[in-house]
């Protein structure tokens, strides 16, 4: 897997940039939301979340699309995966995992994709979740993977 240069990693995870990525992801989910894959086109077919034909995104796919739009980082190429491989791959280590810290923290669990696919009640909840994570992004510390006790239970966990 190609690694993102350390200075770019610092830029991506800078609180202001991180918040912009998550807020853009919220906007994308507000335009169209999906389950079971990172993104879909207007016909409901699975596509890369970064594809120009994508019209609906899951929470994770929206973050990846925002990363692409704002910083030109193509997650599929970075990971060396196609759409099917991406949909079944575990959350990668490194910067992509760090980008999801605020999501896991607000959610109170590690598997954001499972929450999107099995628990999230709909697009408004997905959008609000991303907005809450954006607010949280600037406050995260090294223990970011741990849920905030005050936020646990706000978003239900998958059974």
Domain regions of the chain by residue span: 6-137
Residue 53 has pLDDT above 90, yes or no: yes
Q: Give the per-residue pLDDT at 85.
A: 87
Burial of 93 (0-12, 13-18, 19+ CB in 10 A): exposed
- Write the CA distances from 154 to 2, 59, 62, 109, 150, integer angstroms: 36, 16, 21, 12, 9
Q: pTM (2 decimals)?
A: 0.80
Average of per-residue pLDDT across 33-56: 97
Show Cβ contacts of residue 48 under 8 Å, excluding neighbours closer than 6 positions. 38, 39, 54, 76, 83, 86
Lowest mean pLDDT of 25-29, 75-79, 136-140, name the range: 136-140
Lowest mean pLDDT of 2-6, 13-17, 35-39, name the range: 2-6
Task: Determine what percent of the chain falls in helix, strand and coil, rounding each to the nearest 5.
Answer: 50, 5, 45
Residue 111 has pLDDT above 80, yes or no: yes
Encode pLDDT of 119-147 as tens digits.
999 999 999 999 999 998 877 543 443 44
């Amino acid at each position: 897997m190609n690694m993102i240069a350390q200075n770019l990693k610092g830029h991506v995870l800078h609180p202001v940039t991180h918040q912009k990525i998550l807020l853009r992801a919220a906007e994308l989910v507000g335009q169209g939301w999906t389950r079971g894959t990172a993104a879909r086109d207007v016909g409901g077919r699975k596509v890369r979340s970064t594809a120009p034909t994508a019209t609906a995104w899951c929470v994770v796919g929206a973050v990846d699309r925002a990363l692409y739009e704002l910083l030109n980082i193509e997650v599929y190429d970075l990971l060396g995966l196609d759409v099917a491989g991406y949909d079944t791959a575990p959350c990668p280590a490194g910067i992509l995992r760090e980008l999801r810290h605020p999501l896991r923290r607000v959610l109170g669990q590690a598997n954001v994709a499972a929450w999107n696919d099995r628990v999230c009640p709909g697009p408004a909840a997905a959008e609000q979740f991303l907005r809450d994570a954006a607010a949280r992004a600037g406050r995260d510390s090294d223990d970011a993977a741990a849920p905030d006790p005050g936020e646990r239970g706000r978003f239900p966990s998958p059974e």
